[in-house]
Amino acid sequence: MRLGAVIITMGNRPDELKALLDSVARQQGDPVEVVVVGQGVKVTGLPEGVRSVELPENLGIPGGRNVGIEAFGPGGADVDALLFLDDDGLLERTDTAELCRQAFAEDSRLGIVSFRIADPDTGETQRRHVPRLRADDPMRSSRVTTFLGGANAVRTKVFEQVGDLPGEFFYAHEETDLAWRALDAGWLIDYRADMVLLHPTTAPSRHAVYHRMVARNRVWLARRNLPAALVPVYLGVWLLLTLVRRPSLPALKAWFGGFKEGWTTPCGPRRPMKWRTVWRLTRLGRPPVI
């Protein structure tokens, strides 16, 4: 099985990017083909054999990853699966690529594998990095309903069948949008604790656009993918959860601004999931209302 890797960069972490590329090069088995996408920056100093695509502007995380996918042919068709790795991450083990190949080879319905993210100093995995509601044991692998955008592997047949990441999202929830479409098409998603990306512990709110885009994209996610009857339930639950978490007044103002924007702006094509997919999600422990 041929593996490719897409890494997007803003050009502000050259040392971390080099370390990541070195960890990819050390992978056992056939070499992993790598494309680095520069988000409005010139990409320099790459090792021999690593390709780059330089964009004139920052297209956002899903937009940049979509460009990386197309660098491997339409829908990534030149390889069998693609790794998506944050440029400040590091593959802890040298057999991660082989574990990916083995996982996809053993289950033809497996479409996406979500890696475990661990802090390089403490080894800790944050609860938000375990893509399930029961996140108290990050060392337990399981079948899940979404995945982590900066540490995963996706079979390219998934893109062929359900399309790319939603570029209009720019940042936040693009993984769940793809995951729901993949599950609706019959694919499976696994969280694997033995496939590890070392990544410094950070708060997502460090991004200036975090609160607005989390809210806007949550609405877009529901409008695009949920049966009409579940849209108000899903968004009502997330509204209550947001208020319970008691964000600061500026954060709450940004959140409500994004929530309004999600209703008043185009969200892309609407393809509501089948009710049997709703039942599948529920059986997996995360009904699409939370």
pLDDT reported for residue 167: 97
Unique residue bearing structure tokens 């990534």 = 76
| Statement to judge: residues 155 and 264 lie in one domain | no
pLDDT reported for residue 124: 96
Q: What is the pLDDT of residues 258-275, one digit of tens each?
A: 999 999 999 999 999 999
Q: What percentage of residues in the chain have a pLDDT greater than 90?
A: 96
| Statement to judge: residues 264 and 179 lie in one domain | no
pLDDT reported for residue 207: 56
154 backbone dihedrals φ, ψ, rounded to 5°? -125, 130
Considering only CA atoms, which of 97, 93, 92, 91 is closest in space to residue 29? 97
Q: Are 30 and 3 in contact (CB under 8 A)?
A: yes
Domain count, the chain: 2
Helices (H) and strands (E) in the chain, counts: 9, 9
The band of 208, judged by pLDDT with boundaries at 50, 70 and 90, is: low
| Statement to judge: residues 213 and 193 lie in one domain | no
Is the pLDDT assigned to residue 290 strictly greater than 90? no
The span from the CA of 14 to the CA of 44, in Å, is 9
Last residue of a domain, one of 167, 202, 237: 202
Considering only CA atoms, which of 163, 214, 170 is closest in space to residue 60? 170
**Mean pLDDT of the region 57-75:** 97
Q: Is residue 117 part of a domain?
A: yes
Tokens standing for 23?
A: 């960890």
Domain containing residue 182: 3-202
| Statement to judge: residues 127 and 271 lie in one domain | no
The span from the CA of 34 to the CA of 25, in Å, is 9
pTM of the model: 0.96
Is the pLDDT assigned to residue 203 strictly greater than 80? no
What single letter denotes the amino acid at residue 36?
V
Q: Is residue 198 part of a domain?
A: yes
Tokens standing for 240?
A: 């209550």
Q: Is residue 149 part of a domain?
A: yes
**Mean pLDDT of the region 156-166:** 98
Last residue of a domain, one of 147, 168, 202: 202
Lowest mean pLDDT among 28-37, 154-163, 202-211: 202-211
| Statement to judge: residues 186 and 276 lie in one domain | no
Is the pLDDT assigned to residue 206 strictly greater than 60? no
Q: What percentage of residues in the chain have a pLDDT greater than 70?
A: 98
> How confident is the prediction for the chain on average, in pLDDT?
96
Q: What is the pLDDT of residues 78-98, one digit of tens each?
A: 999 999 999 999 999 999 999
Beta-strand runs (E) in the chain: 3-9, 33-38, 51-54, 81-85, 90-91, 110-118, 142-143, 151-155, 188-198
Q: Is residue 288 part of a domain?
A: no
